[in-house]
Structure 1
Amino acid sequence: MTDIVIYHNPACGTSRNTLALIRNSGVEPHVVEYLKSPPSRALLVEMIGRAGMAPRDLLRQKGTPYAELGLDDASLTNDALLDAMIEHPVLINRPLVVTPLGVRLCRPSEAVLDILPDAQKGAFAKEDGEQVVDADGRRVTPA
């Protein structure tokens, strides 16, 4: 059984689509509602590093205290940005997915296909109707 973790917000369509794509590969992931159970600072640092990102790359601006906290200040250190994400987990962009093949911020949701060890089991369309996987389990490339 493949061990996959998704840091998920059920109120987010991109997060719901990503979770559904993981399940479409035949895997039931470990779902962490990160607003209720945020990752530790050490785990967050590890995931950011494994994803090849900088803390700023994981910051969510929309619907968060990003502006109020002055996080657009380019002189802020990575430690200061991490402190803000730990204090305000809503600042952590989602969904963040961890698989044996890597860690990825799955925006758009189909980015998860790059790190899923198991093939898609059938067709998949996003909530908005956009076809992402065909009936044979192959990724659909936009025309």
Structure 2
Amino acid sequence: MDVLPGGTATFLLLFGLFLGAFAVRSALRLIRVLRLVRHGQHVEGRCSDRRVEDRGSGTENRYRTEYVFAFRTPDGREVEFTDHAPGPFGFEVGAPIRVTYDPADPSGRATVAGPGAWGPLLMPAVFAVVLGLFSVGLIAGFAAML
């Protein structure tokens, strides 16, 4: 029984496009972080908080850890932000870290990516490459079925 019109070919196309969208999203995140690391302003910051979120007993990864970082801009403003995947081992609260931010929008565009914390660059790169390869394979499978 075919669930979708066109059966397997339609599934390959839709799933390939779906994974491709996530690959593009990860690639855009990687580009934004790389641009920020290269052209942003570097300051000394710290890990200000580590929050553990309980997602409930029905989920595969029940607990999720979120790291909050803080830094002070040259004009004296204290800015806090969260960053994706700070690293494999995380940070202790109060640990110093290099922060890179956009002076035009310090609270909206800041990252800890760089020496000592490659997670914000590594994770989007892995997702973009792996999902991109799967997407290309699925779309090539669709094209072969035509």
Task: Choose 1 or 2 for highest CA Rg.
Answer: 2
Which structure's relative contact order is higher, taking Cα pairs within 8 Å and 6+ residues apart?
2
TM-score range, shorter chain: under 0.3
TM-score (norm 2): 0.23
Structure with more of its chain in strand, by fraction: 2
TM-score (norm 1): 0.24
Structure with more of its chain in helix, by fraction: 2
